[in-house]
């Protein structure tokens, strides 16, 4: 330990997070408990990760069984749970093949790599550029923060990785500049989560897809936050009437176990050959088992239908809040990815909700409260959250 560390008693953990002053020790369903045994209604879901709630029984049972057998083996060997999970993802998406990794940033990194390699090795051209959009968020590796259209994310990491260009989001006129000779792909979020919970305009998406198809440019959809049932369908693109060439998934895929996936059409997937990309931990037996149990639960016949009933109920009640309180400027999003734009500072609402009402919510920019319930949340829990939100807005008014 250094002298500075000893005298200041600084944490051994690097200070890359503005942590809330609570320590969570236990979770079940929509609730978590801190180290004083105080109970909170968790409407952050681990930032859209615990979509089945905390410690879901179906995933716990599968993991418990796997822990008795094999924790890890390399991708040099066949992994049955990985094969089964890949098939589930393919059967329930527009893709044909899957590459597994450990996180959303890695999934987007793989998307960038496969787009360039597809252009250069399959199409035999020199295209390399990926177009993204202002206020987007695609990760914190050097490549994915370079793809992210936010200067605050990029600050201090210059020079950025070349090969990215940003356009205004939801701006149809700006699409005239979408495709350049060097453009190999367009990457977009259909709801910009970190950027303020901003849904894509369907007319804008239709035009963007048309231009990509006409110019043989890949459409890559970042479903890290919107995927795994959060917006009312397993993937958000399924509400926009098109099939992407590449889909990146993580967060809700493993119910809290670190796993990410790149799903691609077969003609794109063939750009990856043995040795062209890899991951030591990606899709290992534990992570794949968690992912398989998660998606199996989500693709049961009536699971999404039941979730959608609760989503519709919450949105109906949120509209009542919108008309009731002047400090609410707008409510937007889809399903259980919700942004409440307020006239004051969003962090003030988040702090008061946590400290005085034991409700955990987030921000998405200075003026937007972000609400991310588990998609398994119940009507009774929604009523509890709404009661707290009513009190919160009345007190902050």
For the segment 244-280, what is each residue's pLDDT rounded down to a tens digit? 999 999 999 999 999 999 999 999 999 999 999 999 9
Q: 25 Cβ partners below 8 Å, 6+ apart?
A: 33, 34, 35
Burial (Cβ within 10 Å: 0-12, 13-18, ≥19) of residue 123: middle
Query: What does the chain come to in residues?
Result: 397
Q: What is the mean pLDDT of residues 199-203?
A: 98
* E strands in 1-143: 24-28, 31-34, 39-42, 97-101, 129-133
The three-class DSSP label of residue 232 is coil
Q: What's the CA gap between 286 and 294, in Å, rounded? A: 12
Instruction: Give me the pLDDT at residue 301, please.
Output: 85
The three-class DSSP label of residue 204 is helix
Q: How far apart are the first and last CA of the chain?
A: 49
pLDDT in tens, 67-88: 999 999 999 999 999 999 999 9
The three-class DSSP label of residue 187 is strand
Confidence check: pLDDT of 133 > 70: yes
Instruction: Give me the pLDDT at residue 325, please.
Output: 97
Q: What's the CA gap between 335 and 233, in Å, rounded? A: 9
Domains of the chain: 9-42+303-396 (3.90.1150.10), 57-298 (3.40.640.10)
Instruction: Give me the pLDDT at residue 6, please.
Output: 45
Q: What is the mean pLDDT of residues 381-395?
A: 97
pLDDT in tens, 339-377: 999 999 999 999 999 999 999 999 999 999 999 999 999
Rounded percentage of the chain residues whose pLDDT exceeds 70? 98
Q: What is the mean pLDDT of residues 162-176?
A: 98
Confidence check: pLDDT of 300 > 70: yes
Q: What is the mean pLDDT of residues 311-335?
A: 97
CB atoms within 10 A of CB 137: 24
Confidence check: pLDDT of 392 > 60: yes
- The structure's pTM equals 0.96
Q: How far is CA 288 from CA 52, 72, 107, in A?
A: 16, 10, 15
Instruction: Give me the pLDDT at residue 121, please.
Output: 96
Q: What's the CA gap between 376 and 304, in Å, rounded? A: 9
Q: What is the mean pLDDT of residues 171-184?
A: 98
Tokens of 397: 């008014």
Per the DSSP assignment, residues forming a β-bridge with 82 are none
> What's the chain's Rg over C-alpha atoms?
21
Q: What values do phi and psi take at 313, rounded to 5?
A: -60, -45
Q: How far is CA 214 from CA 179, 211, 265, in A?
A: 10, 5, 17
User: Quick one: which H or E segment has residue 190?
Assistant: none
Q: What is the mean pLDDT of residues 14-40?
A: 96
Of 334, 330, 341, which is closest to residue 315 (Cα–Cα)?
A: 334
CA angle in degrees (0–180, nearest 5) for 383-385-389: 115
Answer whether 60's CB lies under 8 Å from 265's CB.
Answer: no
User: Quick one: which H or E segment has residue 370?
Assistant: strand 368-371
Tokens of 389: 């939100």
Q: In what order do the strands lie in the sheet with 31-34?
A: 24-28, 31-34, 39-42, 359-360
Mean of all residue pLDDT scores within the chain:
96
How confident is residue 9, by pLDDT bands cut at 50, 70 and 90?
confident
Of 286, 291, 239, 236, which is closest to residue 260 (Cα–Cα)?
A: 291
């Amino acid at each position: 330990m250094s002298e500075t560390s000893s005298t200041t008693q600084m944490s051994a953990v690097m200070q890359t997070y503005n942590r809330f002053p609570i320590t969570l020790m236990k979770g079940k369903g929509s609730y978590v408990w801190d180290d004083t045994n105080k109970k909170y209604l968790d409407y952050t879901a681990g930032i859209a990760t615990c979509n089945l709630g905390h410690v879901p029984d179906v995933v716990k049972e599968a993991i418990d069984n796997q822990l008795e057998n094999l924790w890890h083996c390399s991708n040099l060997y066949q992994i049955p749970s990985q094969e089964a999970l890949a098939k589930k993802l393919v059967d329930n998406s527009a893709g044909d093949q899957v590459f597994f990794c450990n996180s959303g940033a890695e999934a987007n990194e793989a998307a960038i790599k496969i787009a360039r390699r597809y252009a250069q090795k399959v199409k035999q051209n020199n295209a390399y550029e990926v177009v993204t959009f202002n206020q987007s968020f695609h990760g914190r590796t050097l490549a994915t923060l370079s793809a992210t259209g936010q200067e605050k994310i990029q600050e201090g990491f210059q020079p950025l990785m070349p090969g990215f260009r940003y356009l205004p989001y939801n701006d149809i006129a700006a699409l005239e500049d979408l495709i350049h000779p060097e453009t190999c792909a367009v990457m977009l979020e259909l709801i910009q989560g970190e950027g303020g919970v901003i849904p894509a305009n369907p007319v804008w998406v239709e035009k963007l897809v048309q231009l990509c198809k006409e110019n043989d440019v890949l459409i890559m959809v970042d479903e890290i936050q919107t995927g795994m049932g959060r917006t009312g369908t397993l993937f958000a693109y399924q509400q926009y009437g098109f099939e992407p060439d590449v889909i990146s998934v993580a967060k809700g895929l493993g119910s809290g176990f670190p796993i990410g996936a790149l799903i691609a059409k077969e003609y794109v997937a063939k750009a990856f050959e043995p040795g062209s990309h890899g991951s030591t931990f990606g899709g290992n037996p534990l992570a794949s088992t968690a992912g398989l149990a998660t998606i199996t639960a989500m693709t049961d016949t009536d699971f999404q239908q039941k979730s959608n009933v609760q989503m519709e109920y919450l949105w109906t009640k949120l509209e009542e809040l919108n008309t009731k309180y002047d400090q609410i400027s707008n409510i937007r999003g889809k399903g259980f990815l919700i942004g409440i734009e307020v006239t004051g500072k969003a962090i003030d609402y988040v702090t008061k909700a946590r400290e005085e009402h034991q409700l955990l919510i987030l921000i998405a920019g200075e003026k937007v409260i972000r609400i991310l319930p588990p998609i398994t949340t119940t009507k009774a829990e929604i009523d509890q959250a709404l009661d707290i939100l009513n009190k919160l807005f009345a007190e902050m008014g």
